[in-house]
């Protein structure tokens, strides 16, 4: 059947084509316009993204960090200080990128908070690395070698403990960094990677906030893992939970990691290059046995299981979902993805410099909708 176009219909069709053409051109040539009119930005402004009662929002009710400078003694910086460290895995060749990350977090937070930094490397850090890092850090600094932890693993009979590879580092991040003798003295850590950005002032202490609100794990970006890298991971997880149902929390976050009540894994995970977490959880019986079970399957080597899905699955299954916190107010970027705070309160109080329209939160690759659907309260608008 042929559709006949009247003159009026032709004009309408032509007008529509012109409008879409102009939109496409402006989206390409004007980045701000493209972001402002993107589906992800429009979705983030919808009414269902606004807060319900019950969402814990740090900036509205939390003790601010005191004003301070380099001359202020460390013990006078905070009314309370958590047993915590800022933690970075880095190579000597990462020096310039690592310096940029440290400088940014010192400027936005730690020049006031004065938490110690812990750096860990496969090899001994060079004198230049240590000197230049100490020059920009207000507080204490420790430089550790991951080899020491691996040597202890070998003594303990842990398979593959001495091998060095990308997969070994994923495995090390998943199951061993928190066991390093020097890390044992801390409860909390904030993971920082080389060349990341912190776009907002952090005017309160996230560690103390998590302690006071019974939080165990936190994130800023959530996205899909590449399924090709973890084809058998979910089968191994289901096998463990079937054999150890006592470790599965009643009010868990299954609705975040699965779209069919646990039959399959939807590949959603928290991007672990940013995480603030309680290492006592990683040291717990539940996580220790969980990691040992996964390790016995060989997926860190035969496939490419990363610490991000491993940490995410453990937190989602063994913690009450309210123990996992989304730090909306911490503006964070790990190229190519950025989380920019949603809502004018967080954006203005944090003196943020990121583009709210460019936040990854509701990009088509993001798992924020899966996180939202299990929340009692969403993000303030």
HEC per residue, 224-261: ECCHHHCCCHHHHHHHHHHHCHHHCCCCCCHHHHCCCC
Q: How many CB atoms sit inside 10 A of residue 244's CB?
A: 15
- At 186 the three-state DSSP class reads coil
- C-alpha gyration radius of the chain: 23
Catalytic residue, chosen from 140, 275, 303, 333, is 275
DSSP 378: -
Specify whether the backbone of 351 is left (phi greater than 0), alpha (psi in -120 to 50) or beta.
left
- According to DSSP, the residues that pair with 325 across neighbouring strands are 218
Q: State the burial class of residue 89 (Cβ atoms within 10 Å of its Cβ: 0-12, 13-18, 19+).
A: buried
Q: What are phi and psi of 261, to 5 degrees?
A: 60, 35
Q: Judge whether 128 counts as a catalytic residue.
A: no
The catalytic residues are: 275
């Amino acid at each position: 059947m042929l559709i006949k176009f009247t003159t009026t219909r032709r004009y309408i069709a032509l007008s529509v084509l012109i409008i879409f053409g102009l939109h496409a051109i402006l989206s390409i040539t004007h980045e701000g316009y493209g972001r402002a009119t993107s589906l992800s930005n429009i979705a983030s402004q919808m009414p269902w993204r606004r807060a319900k009662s019950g969402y814990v929002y740090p900036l509205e009710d939390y003790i601010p960090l005191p004003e301070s400078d380099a001359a202020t003694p460390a013990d006078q910086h905070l009314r309370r200080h958590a047993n915590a460290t800022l933690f970075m895995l880095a190579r000597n060749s990462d020096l310039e990128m690592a310096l940029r990350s440290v400088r940014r977090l010192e400027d936005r937070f730690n020049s006031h908070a004065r938490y110690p930094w812990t750096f860990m490397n496969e090899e001994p850090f060079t004198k230049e690395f240590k000197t230049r890092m100490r020059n920009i850090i207000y507080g204490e600094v420790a430089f550790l070698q991951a080899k020491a932890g691996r040597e202890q693993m070998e003594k303990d009979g842990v398979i593959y403990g001495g091998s060095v590879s990308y997969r070994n580092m994923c495995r090390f991040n998943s199951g061993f960094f928190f066991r390093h003798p020097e890390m044992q003295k801390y409860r909390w850590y904030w993971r920082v990677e080389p060349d990341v950005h912190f776009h907002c002032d952090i005017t309160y202490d996230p560690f103390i906030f998590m302690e006071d609100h019974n939080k165990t794990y936190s994130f800023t970006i959530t996205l899909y893992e590449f399924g090709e890298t973890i084809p058998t991971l979910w089968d191994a997880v289901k096998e463990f939970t079937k054999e150890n149902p006592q470790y599965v929390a009643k009010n868990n976050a299954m609705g975040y990691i699965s779209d069919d009540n646990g039959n399959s894994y939807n590949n959603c995970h928290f991007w672990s290059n940013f995480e603030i977490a309680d290492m006592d959880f990683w040291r717990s019986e539940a996580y220790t046995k969980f990691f040992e079970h996964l390790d016995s399957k060989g997926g860190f080597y035969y496939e490419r299981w990363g610490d991000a899905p491993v940490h995410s699955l453990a937190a989602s299954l063994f913690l009450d979902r309210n123990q996992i916190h989304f730090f909306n107010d911490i503006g964070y970027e790990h190229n190519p993805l950025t989380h920019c705070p949603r809502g004018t309160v967080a954006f203005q109080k944090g003196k943020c410099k990121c583009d709210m329209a460019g936040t990854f939160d509701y990009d088509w690759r993001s798992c924020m909708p899966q996180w939202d659907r299990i929340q009692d309260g969403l993000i303030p608008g």
